[in-house]
Amino acid sequence: MKKLRVLMMIVVMLSLVGMVGGGFRLSAQEQGAEEENKAQGKVKDEAAELKSAALDAVLMMKDEDAIPILEKILGNKDNPDLRKKALFILSQKDKQKALPILQRLAQEDPDHEVREHAVFCLGQMQGEESIAALLEIYDKVNDAGLKEKILFSFSQHQSDKAFDKLKAIAQNEKDEELCSKAIFSLGQTGKKEALDILKKVIEDDGAGIEIRKKALFSLSQFGGGEVIDLLMPIAKSHKNNEIRKQAVFWLGQSKDPRAVKALEDILNEK
């Protein structure tokens, strides 16, 4: 019996040793796979850096040589980051050649980020041609996120056509998010005419309360005495109490003596 027990102990010990040994062998395999993945990742990173550097060099090339190279990169859907960089470089080249390419990609590219970046690049280009392209894209696409990017681009230009589009959307757009973005963008233009539009939105009983509050916020950001003149009657007598409270809040942010007097009058109301 003793010999049998000893024999069984030996078998168990050998089994344990085998399991441990197998465990070490598995760990080594895993470690090897990890090192291989790291090496492949490093090679990919180095290749990406090299391509990025090559694109930097394309920026310095003549337009007639650079644009065909950029078009080829933009046609390759495998590398969105490289394509976005190519879009920016393209926007620095011949506008007449770059504009239709950027417009096409903004409307049709399957990658959402690439479409948005094409809109951004169009927005950075000066002149009515880029505004015309953005206006056309806005009317053709259904992508709300892309439309919001276009609205912001409009606010960065001194174009009358862009401003007119913002006015129309702020007053007539049924989509609340787009309407809100247009109202915000109007406030960013800094144009005096925007104040009149924002006032109309605030006074429009058919507009949603959140839309009207957004218009009040945009109006308050203009600053100056004219804004105080608009805020005081809203704070004192607007039909909607939420709007009144917002106007009171923005009056409270002003150091204008008239704002102080208006707040005193409200406090003394019976």
Give me the CATH topology for the region 190-270.
Leucine-rich Repeat Variant (1.25.10)
* Domain 55-157: assigned CATH number: 1.25.10
Question: What digits encode the pLDDT tens for the residues 150-184?
Answer: 999 998 888 899 999 999 999 988 899 999 999 99
User: What does the block give as tokens for 215?
Assistant: 């218009």
d(CA 270, CA 262) in angstroms, rounded, equals 15
CA angle 168, 173, 177 (to 5 degrees): 120
pLDDT for 162: 92
This prediction's pTM: 0.72
- Fold identical between 55-157 and 190-270? yes
pLDDT given for residue 116 in this prediction: 93
Q: Which residues neighbour 71 within 8 Å (Cβ) at sequence distance 6 or greater?
A: 101
Q: What is the pLDDT of residue 10?
A: 56
> Which pLDDT value is given to residue 48?
75
pLDDT for 90-123, tens place per residue?
998 888 899 999 999 999 999 999 999 999 999 9
What is the per-residue pLDDT for 107? 93
- Give the pLDDT confidence score for residue 214 in this predicted structure: 93
Alpha-carbon span 220 to 213, nearest angstrom: 10
14/8 Cα distance (integer angstroms)? 10
pLDDT at 13: 57
Q: What are phi and psi of 239, to 5 degrees?
A: -70, -25
Domain boundaries, the chain: 55-157, 190-270
pLDDT at 2: 57
Question: What is the percent of the chain with per-residue pLDDT over 90, rounded to a whole number?
Answer: 39
Q: What is the pLDDT of residue 31?
A: 60
In the chain, which residues have pLDDT < 70? 1-45
According to the model, what pLDDT value does residue 17 have?
46
Give the pLDDT of residue 136: 95
